[in-house]
Structure 1
């Protein structure tokens, strides 16, 4: 904190962090520099939560926010920094990608130090210039994108991740895996993003199941944290596509954690998207632990999807969209909304609403 010019910090976290050993350790580390805790961040970061947290930070006279948790907590920290800088105004900084491309007002200098402490296996929000904040009344997520949203520092400590339960570890890890795989077949992939995505997928394939079955395995936890950072950096450069686009829609409408929808949709998406990248399908097979042998490129892609699905089947996650309350009658509307999401343009081949609906139906 001192190196960043901050003296007084407020911790922003969810109830699980606030009620456990993680906050005890942070209190001990910060001592008198900790002036308060906002401990009511729910999943998907509703904007009302960000407003309350910002008001509390100002009342405490804090000049730093330390976000502790997964993507929701870190996005809340970003939202606090935004409202602190703008005097409480969200609207000009929301990306309106449906009508204006990626246009938005540039974020002012925050004037607030933001330190992120990730505690899950996959958000990577701590290295990304984006934040997704939910509007519960509209049933959608507001996207913010500005380089000034990247936290000033990140503390990666695998001991802070051991408290995440099996389903949370699995779901957040699958968010990182989905980023890595979608970067491999992105229309904007390049050698640097591919290298980062490949090693991220390798690490997650080995470490994520271990993190679920042996929560105290610090090596596995550290590998998942590093994989998340690599997948996040890859996605900033190459961008992700259809799995994340659908995740934005169902997350906003149904309040679903992204990693759960990602885990269900990723293998079906791979079967559709990987053939578009030709010989590069061998990269995906290698990342999932398969041997090239005599596979054709398309056979390698199909095998990669099968291996990914086999890994998902080991995790304590729902298997089908219908288990999440999504019905066949919902699919056309989800597909239509997905076509308006800013990520859909990054697919390696054109997709129509009927193509998206077909993918959803396979996952239903």
Structure 2
């Protein structure tokens, strides 16, 4: 199945390569910004990852404020708190230095600065979002892809569910892929964010909304991740592998913007919303089981990925190739020491009904899945990973 109409939406400028952080100076000049709002996390700020960013801003003669009180997996209360800080500022440019939560928060709040509507109104109708401050995304992990999507994931506390806000006004104006920002990334973050990026690539390639644009980047992202994630995990000093992972994460995000994720993310959202399981971990636990469940509906697509990742070799059937890809995913999860079940997160059978009900409401993503999933199907997938 191939969509008859499709689109490719990307950031306006993408900078990569050695010392690409220095491009912030050109951006400040282009935007005529006298004050910059830097969004980041407390830990990132503490260990000095932002220091080079601050230095470049100062050398431009610009001023800056820092918003660093951004929790992982932020909710609506966090959005309101950060937006209040941003509205009190006279910043003209937003620079996000961090992982998915930081970048999602920065994109969302930059678009909502001075808005007449609330986050709760926006959750009810994403289309009311207007354009806001220009944004610069500087990822410090190698997996979320938030720098190249116009999505922002917010936990809705009352529903114990994560919800995706989707609007092209949140597409970043500038992206800087500087591998020095992930040089010291802890191994467990390399693993969880890396498999998150792999989920993006594989889901987008097998999505009902897959198209020639998304296929192009999803295949390249998949190949890069399969070849580099285990190296990045076991060889912390292997900057070539980490650079490839950073590029792969960006490309997988581009695939999301053109195609879209599927049942892996739909079943992942309730796990983050209620149990606060990190997004990358829940996706990693679910990726192989969901793809195996989907196999009959996307066997050919998975086989194409197998040929992309391992070209040549002996002749194999599409079924054998599809099974090989799922097995490779399981091996990556095992080799990078990511949990393969929910047991250590205190999720039990008594939680199944609520998990199934919540996941079944994520129609935006379930509709992308090539195999239609009933509530019973969803329950069986959760049972497999308990």
Asked if TM exceeds 0.5, the reply is yes
Residues 88-119 of structure 1: CA deviation (Å, up to 9, x unaligned): 6223321x4xxxxxx53331221x22111100
Tell me the residue number matched to 1:338. Answer: 359
Q: Distance in 2 between matches of 1:203 and 1:262?
A: 18
Q: Deviations over 1:137-158 (max 9, x none)?
A: 4422243211111121111100
Residue in 1 that maps onto 2:93: 64
For residues 88 and 194 of structure 1, the distance between their equivalents in structure 2, rounded to whole angstroms, comes to 36
Deviation at 1:30, TM superposition (A): 1.1
2:47 maps to what in 1? 20
Residues 96-111 of structure 1 aligned to structure 2 (within 5 Å): 96=124, 103-110=125-132
Match of 1:362 in 2: 384
In structure 2, the partner of 1:100 is none
Aligned to 2:249: 228
Q: Relative to structure 1, is the Cα distance of residues 351 and 142 closer, same or farther in structure 2, using a 3 angstrom cutoff?
A: closer
Please give the alpha-carbon distance, in whole angstroms, between the structure 1 residues aligned to 2:375 and 2:166. 26
Instruction: From 103, 115, 127, give the equivalent of 1:74.
Output: 103
TM-score (norm 2): 0.87
Q: Secondary structure at the match of 1:343?
A: helix
In the alignment, structure 1 residue 283 sits paired with structure 2 residue 312: no
State the shift of 1:291 in Å.
Answer: 5.5
Q: Distance in 1 between matches of 2:145 and 2:277?
A: 18
Length, aligned pairs only: 356
- 1:35-87 CA-partner distances (Å, limit 9, x unpaired): 22111111112233333333333434211221110110001102221331414
- Runs of at least 5 residues in structure 1 that lack an aligned partner in the other structure: 97-102
Structure 1 residues 350, 315: CA separation in 2 closer, same or farther (over 3 Å shift)?
same
Indicate which of 3, 12, 35 corresponds to 2:64: 35
> Residue 292 of structure 1: CA displacement?
5.8
- Structure with greater contact order relative to length (CA < 8 Å, sep ≥ 6): 2
Alpha-carbon separation, structure 2, partners of 1:278 and 1:211: 29
287 and 15 in structure 1: CA distance in 2 versus 1, 3 angstrom threshold: farther
**Is structure 2 residue 163 aligned with structure 1 residue 147?**
no
Aligned to 1:54: 83
Partner of 1:177: 198
Moved over 6 A (4+): none
1:1-364 equivalent positions in 2, closer than 5 A = 1-31=28-58, 32-87=61-116, 89-94=118-123, 96=124, 103-110=125-132, 112-289=133-310, 293-341=314-362, 342-364=364-386
User: Take 2:152 and 2:331, find their aligned partners in 1: how far apart are those partners?
Assistant: 31
Structure 1 residues 301 and 148: alpha-carbon distance in aligned structure 2, compared to 1, 3 A threshold = same
2:333 and 2:339 in contact (8 A); partners too: no
SS in 1 for 2:127: coil
**Mind listing any 5+ residue stretches in structure 2 that lack a counterpart?**
1-27
- Match of 1:235, SS state, is helix
Contact 1:11–1:34 (Cα < 8 Å) also in 2: no
- Please give the root-mean-square deviation of Cα atoms over the aligned residues, in Å: 1.9
Whether contact under 8 Å (1:282, 1:292) holds in the other structure is: no
Q: Are the equivalent residues in 1 in contact too, given 2:306–2:324 (CA < 8 A)?
A: yes
Give, in whole Å, the separation in 1 of the partners of 2:303 and 2:358: 32
